[in-house]
Amino acid sequence: MIDVPLVRVALGPVFVQVALVVIDIELISMAIRTIVRQIFPVVSNVFLKVLLLRCRILALGIGTRLTSLCPKRKSLSCKPCS
């Protein structure tokens, strides 16, 4: 998991927001896994893995949109946006 204070120092506020979104998605996916297993105890692990993968893809899509808000932040060597 991404350490948010370290990300803030290394990458700036745009990437901190990405890290927070990823953490939120991880918590949501854990809740989904728990609920699904309680309702359907026989649900296969493949179904859960596909569901969690879709959550992670959603997090990456949101992160891409956040980084595209700042055109100067295309790589780690760029200076932060003002």
Following DSSP, what letter does each residue of 52-67 receive, concatenated?
HHHHHHHHHHHHHHHH
CA distance 77 to 41: 48
10-residue mean pLDDT profile of the chain (82 residues): values are 45 55 66 73 68 65 52 48 50
Give me the half-sphere count of Cα atoms (radius 13 Å) on the Cβ side of residue 13. Answer: 5
CB 10 within 8 A of CB 65: no
CA distance 18 to 65: 9
Whole-model pTM over 0.75: no
